[in-house]
Structure 1
Amino acid sequence: MFETLVTVVGYVITEPVVRDTPNGNRVASFRVAATSRRFDRDAEEWVDGARFYATVNCWKRLADGVATALGKGDPVVATGRLRTREYERGGQWSTVVELEANAVGLDLARGAPPAEDVLRQRSVSDRGLVSLPSG
């Protein structure tokens, strides 16, 4: 079976919801929105284009990390398998887009991490990095 692997760059638009499945696995889910941008040469400004929404599902250890590190409004990069699911409610058929994530991270190109103060408190040696002499 061929799977569609994608990477979505966007913003978390719902607080992550964590639940345990009947077989004991943990899953964290949140919605992400990605908006394309383009430069309008006539107006000489950037304008928003089409929006893409998806539910991101994270399992096991990834679910634990998402539950502690992400919140609504955070910029994220999520990669995994893209799927669509159809369901019927009240005679109406709907389609949802879901991303079963392999990896999720803060998009540092779009802003500082929410735990900025915590990161500042950690020394360089705590992270296993070597500081280089200045000059």
Structure 2
Amino acid sequence: MNRLVRGGLLLLGGLHLSWGVPAVLAPRWFFDTFPGFGRAWTAAYPPYNAHLVTDLGATFLTLGVLLLLAAWFADRRVTAVVLAGVLVFSTLHLAFHARHHGELAGGDLTASLAALVLGVLMPIALLVLDRRNRA
């Protein structure tokens, strides 16, 4: 497995875990403070729902673990399946937020949509890189 692909899997896995752990363990805090740095993107979609935030955290944790396992196993098929799953989630997540902005506007809306677009583009790029490197 190419170091760039493995590094991308590790980066995405770490990001998903860093979002999932607080969403599961402290859903209210996650809702009020995500993504951090004084921003509150999740809170722009009220009302707060502990069940929903905890389920989202479980999804992020699951994807994070799968991404890290793909990096560990370095198997083309495992990598493709995991990245396809991340791509489905990320595309659906982007599609929702592209249509529903909640209370986000201006720079926060632009930054959140840009982050979601990157969440779609990165798995695509890793799939393409991995396929080219193994061909």
Which is richer in helix? 2
Look at both structures and tell me which one has the larger radius of gyration over its CA atoms. 1
TM-score, structure 2 normalization: 0.23
The TM-score normalised by the length of structure 1 is 0.23
